[in-house]
Amino acid sequence: MTSVFRNDETAENSASLASVLTDCSIEVMPRTAAKIGDFRQILPQGTRVYVAHIRDTPIDDMVATARRLTDEGFQPMPHLPARIIPDRLTLETWVRRYREEAGVTQALLLGGGVSTPAGDLDSSIAMLETGVFDRLGFDRLHVAGHPEGNKDIDRDGGTAVVDEALKWKQSFSERTDAEMAIVTQFAFEAAPVIAWAERIAAAGITLPIHVGVAGPTKLQTLIKYAVACGVGPSLNVLQKRALDLRKLLVPYEPTDFLVDIAAHRAAYPESSIERVHVFPLGGIQASADWLARVRDGASHQD
Protein backbone atom coordinates (compact mmCIF):
# COMPACT_ATOMS: atom_id res chain seq x y z
CA MET A 1 0.00 0.00 0.00
CA THR A 2 1.21 3.51 -0.78
CA SER A 3 1.82 5.56 2.36
CA VAL A 4 -0.50 8.53 2.91
CA PHE A 5 2.11 10.26 5.05
CA ARG A 6 4.68 12.87 4.11
CA ASN A 7 8.17 11.57 3.55
CA ASP A 8 9.48 13.16 6.75
CA GLU A 9 6.88 11.56 9.01
CA THR A 10 8.14 9.23 11.72
CA ALA A 11 6.40 6.16 13.11
CA GLU A 12 5.76 8.22 16.26
CA ASN A 13 3.92 10.89 14.27
CA SER A 14 1.99 8.21 12.41
CA ALA A 15 0.80 6.75 15.70
CA SER A 16 -0.16 10.25 16.86
CA LEU A 17 -2.22 10.73 13.70
CA ALA A 18 -4.02 7.45 14.32
CA SER A 19 -4.71 8.63 17.86
CA VAL A 20 -6.14 12.00 16.79
CA LEU A 21 -8.47 10.22 14.36
CA THR A 22 -9.76 7.85 17.03
CA ASP A 23 -13.49 8.40 17.57
CA CYS A 24 -13.62 11.19 14.98
CA SER A 25 -17.06 12.37 13.92
CA ILE A 26 -18.57 13.16 10.53
CA GLU A 27 -21.77 14.79 9.32
CA VAL A 28 -24.56 14.24 6.83
CA MET A 29 -27.71 15.95 5.66
CA PRO A 30 -30.97 14.02 5.27
CA ARG A 31 -30.75 14.19 1.48
CA THR A 32 -27.16 12.90 1.43
CA ALA A 33 -27.90 10.24 4.05
CA ALA A 34 -30.65 8.92 1.79
CA LYS A 35 -28.00 8.03 -0.80
CA ILE A 36 -26.17 5.72 1.63
CA GLY A 37 -27.59 2.20 1.62
CA ASP A 38 -26.16 1.21 5.01
CA PHE A 39 -23.88 3.39 7.14
CA ARG A 40 -22.50 0.26 8.78
CA GLN A 41 -20.75 -0.52 5.50
CA ILE A 42 -18.72 2.71 5.48
CA LEU A 43 -18.28 3.94 9.07
CA PRO A 44 -17.05 2.30 12.29
CA GLN A 45 -19.86 1.30 14.65
CA GLY A 46 -20.63 3.94 17.23
CA THR A 47 -19.35 6.88 15.15
CA ARG A 48 -20.90 10.20 16.10
CA VAL A 49 -22.75 11.48 13.03
CA TYR A 50 -23.88 15.09 13.03
CA VAL A 51 -27.12 15.65 11.11
CA ALA A 52 -26.89 19.09 9.50
CA HIS A 53 -30.11 21.09 9.53
CA ILE A 54 -30.20 23.33 6.48
CA ARG A 55 -32.92 25.98 6.36
CA ASP A 56 -36.23 24.63 4.98
CA THR A 57 -35.33 21.01 5.76
CA PRO A 58 -38.50 19.48 7.26
CA ILE A 59 -38.10 18.43 10.88
CA ASP A 60 -39.71 15.10 9.94
CA ASP A 61 -36.73 14.40 7.65
CA MET A 62 -34.28 15.36 10.39
CA VAL A 63 -35.91 13.09 12.96
CA ALA A 64 -36.19 10.20 10.48
CA THR A 65 -32.48 10.47 9.62
CA ALA A 66 -31.56 10.52 13.30
CA ARG A 67 -33.80 7.48 13.92
CA ARG A 68 -32.14 5.58 11.10
CA LEU A 69 -28.65 6.34 12.46
CA THR A 70 -29.67 5.19 15.94
CA ASP A 71 -31.10 1.97 14.52
CA GLU A 72 -27.86 1.30 12.61
CA GLY A 73 -25.77 1.68 15.75
CA PHE A 74 -24.47 5.24 15.44
CA GLN A 75 -24.68 8.34 17.64
CA PRO A 76 -26.74 10.97 15.83
CA MET A 77 -26.06 14.56 16.85
CA PRO A 78 -28.57 16.84 15.10
CA HIS A 79 -27.82 20.49 14.49
CA LEU A 80 -30.15 22.95 16.20
CA PRO A 81 -29.72 26.34 14.46
CA ALA A 82 -31.32 28.95 16.71
CA ARG A 83 -32.17 31.49 14.02
CA ILE A 84 -34.37 29.15 11.97
CA ILE A 85 -36.45 28.06 15.00
CA PRO A 86 -39.66 30.14 15.30
CA ASP A 87 -40.04 30.06 19.09
CA ARG A 88 -39.21 28.25 22.33
CA LEU A 89 -42.18 25.91 22.02
CA THR A 90 -40.89 24.76 18.62
CA LEU A 91 -37.42 24.21 20.11
CA GLU A 92 -38.84 22.06 22.89
CA THR A 93 -41.03 20.15 20.42
CA TRP A 94 -38.05 19.38 18.20
CA VAL A 95 -35.82 18.36 21.10
CA ARG A 96 -38.56 16.15 22.53
CA ARG A 97 -39.12 14.48 19.16
CA TYR A 98 -35.41 13.75 18.81
CA ARG A 99 -35.38 12.26 22.29
CA GLU A 100 -38.59 10.24 22.12
CA GLU A 101 -38.75 9.24 18.44
CA ALA A 102 -35.06 8.81 17.60
CA GLY A 103 -33.36 8.06 20.91
CA VAL A 104 -31.15 11.16 20.57
CA THR A 105 -29.36 12.50 23.65
CA GLN A 106 -26.87 14.93 22.08
CA ALA A 107 -27.01 18.05 19.89
CA LEU A 108 -24.86 20.68 18.23
CA LEU A 109 -26.18 24.14 19.06
CA LEU A 110 -25.58 26.89 16.50
CA GLY A 111 -26.58 30.47 15.86
CA GLY A 112 -27.83 29.42 12.46
CA GLY A 113 -26.10 31.58 9.87
CA VAL A 114 -29.15 33.56 8.73
CA SER A 115 -29.27 37.33 9.17
CA THR A 116 -32.80 37.63 10.57
CA PRO A 117 -33.97 35.24 13.33
CA ALA A 118 -37.30 33.53 12.78
CA GLY A 119 -38.25 34.31 16.39
CA ASP A 120 -36.76 35.19 19.76
CA LEU A 121 -33.98 32.60 19.63
CA ASP A 122 -30.94 34.21 18.08
CA SER A 123 -27.99 32.22 19.46
CA SER A 124 -26.89 28.97 21.04
CA ILE A 125 -26.80 30.82 24.37
CA ALA A 126 -30.51 31.65 24.03
CA MET A 127 -31.27 27.95 23.49
CA LEU A 128 -29.12 26.86 26.45
CA GLU A 129 -30.86 29.39 28.69
CA THR A 130 -34.22 27.64 28.13
CA GLY A 131 -33.05 24.63 30.14
CA VAL A 132 -34.84 22.29 27.73
CA PHE A 133 -31.82 20.05 27.13
CA ASP A 134 -31.31 19.23 30.80
CA ARG A 135 -35.04 18.71 31.29
CA LEU A 136 -35.19 16.21 28.43
CA GLY A 137 -32.07 14.31 29.42
CA PHE A 138 -29.57 15.37 26.77
CA ASP A 139 -26.17 14.26 28.03
CA ARG A 140 -23.89 15.89 25.42
CA LEU A 141 -24.05 19.39 23.92
CA HIS A 142 -21.58 20.84 21.45
CA VAL A 143 -21.11 24.49 20.50
CA ALA A 144 -19.26 26.18 17.66
CA GLY A 145 -15.71 27.50 17.74
CA HIS A 146 -14.07 29.91 15.29
CA PRO A 147 -10.26 29.70 15.38
CA GLU A 148 -9.98 32.30 12.61
CA GLY A 149 -12.81 34.49 13.86
CA ASN A 150 -16.28 34.99 12.43
CA LYS A 151 -17.03 38.26 10.64
CA ASP A 152 -20.78 37.61 10.83
CA ILE A 153 -20.44 37.84 14.63
CA ASP A 154 -17.44 40.14 15.15
CA ARG A 155 -17.99 42.53 12.28
CA ASP A 156 -14.82 44.50 13.09
CA GLY A 157 -12.72 41.43 12.33
CA GLY A 158 -11.82 40.87 15.98
CA THR A 159 -12.80 38.12 18.41
CA ALA A 160 -14.35 39.97 21.37
CA VAL A 161 -17.92 38.72 20.89
CA VAL A 162 -17.05 35.08 20.14
CA ASP A 163 -14.60 35.07 23.06
CA GLU A 164 -17.27 36.35 25.48
CA ALA A 165 -19.72 33.75 24.18
CA LEU A 166 -17.22 30.95 24.84
CA LYS A 167 -16.63 32.23 28.38
CA TRP A 168 -20.39 32.10 28.99
CA LYS A 169 -20.56 28.54 27.62
CA GLN A 170 -17.62 27.50 29.79
CA SER A 171 -19.53 28.78 32.80
CA PHE A 172 -22.69 27.03 31.65
CA SER A 173 -20.79 23.75 31.28
CA GLU A 174 -20.08 23.87 35.01
CA ARG A 175 -23.77 23.93 35.93
CA THR A 176 -25.32 21.59 33.36
CA ASP A 177 -25.54 17.82 33.65
CA ALA A 178 -24.45 17.47 30.00
CA GLU A 179 -20.91 16.99 28.76
CA MET A 180 -19.89 19.88 26.49
CA ALA A 181 -17.30 20.42 23.77
CA ILE A 182 -16.39 22.94 21.07
CA VAL A 183 -16.42 21.87 17.41
CA THR A 184 -14.58 24.24 15.11
CA GLN A 185 -15.06 25.56 11.62
CA PHE A 186 -12.73 23.77 9.22
CA ALA A 187 -9.33 25.31 8.49
CA PHE A 188 -6.36 24.44 6.29
CA GLU A 189 -3.41 25.36 8.46
CA ALA A 190 -2.77 23.98 11.94
CA ALA A 191 -0.84 26.92 13.43
CA PRO A 192 -3.83 29.32 13.75
CA VAL A 193 -5.97 26.56 15.27
CA ILE A 194 -3.30 25.65 17.80
CA ALA A 195 -2.69 29.31 18.68
CA TRP A 196 -6.44 29.84 19.19
CA ALA A 197 -6.72 26.74 21.40
CA GLU A 198 -3.85 27.98 23.55
CA ARG A 199 -5.29 31.50 23.74
CA ILE A 200 -8.74 30.45 24.91
CA ALA A 201 -7.23 27.99 27.39
CA ALA A 202 -5.23 30.85 28.89
CA ALA A 203 -8.53 32.73 29.24
CA GLY A 204 -9.98 29.87 31.30
CA ILE A 205 -11.91 28.10 28.53
CA THR A 206 -11.11 24.43 29.02
CA LEU A 207 -13.91 22.77 27.06
CA PRO A 208 -12.59 19.93 24.85
CA ILE A 209 -12.00 20.99 21.26
CA HIS A 210 -13.04 18.87 18.27
CA VAL A 211 -11.10 20.29 15.32
CA GLY A 212 -13.00 20.61 12.05
CA VAL A 213 -11.32 19.40 8.87
CA ALA A 214 -12.53 19.38 5.28
CA GLY A 215 -12.76 15.91 3.80
CA PRO A 216 -11.33 15.08 0.37
CA THR A 217 -12.79 17.03 -2.52
CA LYS A 218 -11.80 18.88 -5.68
CA LEU A 219 -9.82 22.02 -4.96
CA GLN A 220 -12.23 24.28 -6.83
CA THR A 221 -15.16 22.92 -4.80
CA LEU A 222 -13.26 23.34 -1.56
CA ILE A 223 -12.35 26.95 -2.26
CA LYS A 224 -16.01 27.69 -3.00
CA TYR A 225 -17.12 26.18 0.33
CA ALA A 226 -14.29 27.89 2.22
CA VAL A 227 -15.26 31.33 0.92
CA ALA A 228 -18.97 30.70 1.63
CA CYS A 229 -18.22 29.54 5.17
CA GLY A 230 -15.96 32.49 5.96
CA VAL A 231 -12.73 30.55 6.42
CA GLY A 232 -9.99 32.97 7.45
CA PRO A 233 -6.29 33.41 6.59
CA SER A 234 -5.65 29.66 6.27
CA LEU A 235 -7.55 29.90 2.96
CA ASN A 236 -4.20 31.10 1.59
CA VAL A 237 -2.99 27.50 1.78
CA LEU A 238 -5.60 26.51 -0.81
CA GLN A 239 -4.99 29.54 -2.98
CA LYS A 240 -1.27 28.74 -3.16
CA ARG A 241 -2.08 25.13 -3.97
CA ALA A 242 -4.34 26.28 -6.81
CA LEU A 243 -1.34 27.93 -8.47
CA ASP A 244 0.26 24.51 -8.92
CA LEU A 245 -1.48 22.94 -11.91
CA ARG A 246 -0.33 19.45 -10.87
CA LYS A 247 -2.10 19.81 -7.52
CA LEU A 248 -5.14 21.35 -9.14
CA LEU A 249 -5.90 17.99 -10.74
CA VAL A 250 -5.56 16.02 -7.49
CA PRO A 251 -8.31 16.07 -4.80
CA TYR A 252 -7.37 17.94 -1.65
CA GLU A 253 -6.84 15.79 1.45
CA PRO A 254 -6.30 17.20 4.98
CA THR A 255 -3.58 14.71 5.93
CA ASP A 256 -0.80 17.30 6.36
CA PHE A 257 -3.07 19.48 8.52
CA LEU A 258 -3.90 16.52 10.75
CA VAL A 259 -0.28 15.39 11.04
CA ASP A 260 0.54 18.84 12.45
CA ILE A 261 -2.42 18.70 14.86
CA ALA A 262 -1.39 15.20 15.95
CA ALA A 263 2.21 16.29 16.49
CA HIS A 264 1.01 19.15 18.69
CA ARG A 265 -1.17 16.81 20.74
CA ALA A 266 1.72 14.41 21.19
CA ALA A 267 4.01 17.22 22.35
CA TYR A 268 1.37 18.86 24.57
CA PRO A 269 -0.96 16.13 25.89
CA GLU A 270 -2.62 18.68 28.18
CA SER A 271 -3.99 20.53 25.12
CA SER A 272 -7.76 20.92 24.91
CA ILE A 273 -7.60 19.61 21.34
CA GLU A 274 -9.22 16.21 21.75
CA ARG A 275 -10.77 14.90 18.53
CA VAL A 276 -11.45 15.59 14.87
CA HIS A 277 -14.70 16.36 13.08
CA VAL A 278 -14.86 15.76 9.33
CA PHE A 279 -16.88 17.98 7.01
CA PRO A 280 -17.45 15.65 4.01
CA LEU A 281 -17.49 18.39 1.39
CA GLY A 282 -16.67 15.93 -1.38
CA GLY A 283 -19.31 13.45 -0.25
CA ILE A 284 -19.54 11.16 2.75
CA GLN A 285 -18.35 8.11 0.81
CA ALA A 286 -15.15 9.89 -0.24
CA SER A 287 -14.48 11.01 3.33
CA ALA A 288 -15.22 7.57 4.76
CA ASP A 289 -12.86 5.95 2.24
CA TRP A 290 -10.13 8.47 3.05
CA LEU A 291 -10.50 7.93 6.81
CA ALA A 292 -10.24 4.18 6.38
CA ARG A 293 -7.15 4.60 4.21
CA VAL A 294 -5.44 6.95 6.68
CA ARG A 295 -6.18 4.68 9.63
CA ASP A 296 -4.89 1.69 7.71
CA GLY A 297 -1.79 3.62 6.69
CA ALA A 298 -1.16 4.60 10.32
CA SER A 299 -1.42 0.97 11.43
CA HIS A 300 1.15 0.00 8.76
CA GLN A 301 3.55 2.60 10.16
CA ASP A 302 3.54 1.05 13.66
Give residue 250's pLDDT.
Answer: 60
> What is residue 111's three-state secondary structure?
coil
Contact 106, 77 (CB under 8 A): yes
Distance separating alpha carbons of residues 259 and 236, to the nearest angstrom: 19
Give the confidence band of 290 by pLDDT, cuts at 50, 70, 90.
confident
Distance separating alpha carbons of residues 220 and 43, to the nearest angstrom: 27
Q: What is the pLDDT of residues 49-90, one digit of tens each?
A: 999 999 999 999 999 999 999 999 999 999 999 999 999 999
Give residue 297's pLDDT.
Answer: 64
Whether pLDDT at 8 is above 60: no
Contact 33, 63 (CB under 8 A): no
Mean pLDDT, all residues of the chain = 86
Where b means 16+ CB within 10 Å and e means fewer, 116-147 reads ebbbebbbbbbbbeeebbeeeebebbbbbbbb
Give residue 284's pLDDT.
Answer: 94
Q: What is the pTM of this model?
A: 0.87
Contact 215, 177 (CB under 8 A): no
Q: Which sign, positive or negative, has the C-alpha torsion 138, 29, 184, 155?
A: negative
Which of 147, 162, 160 lies closest to 210, judged by CA? 147
Helix 284-301 with 11-20: angle, nearest 10 deg: 140
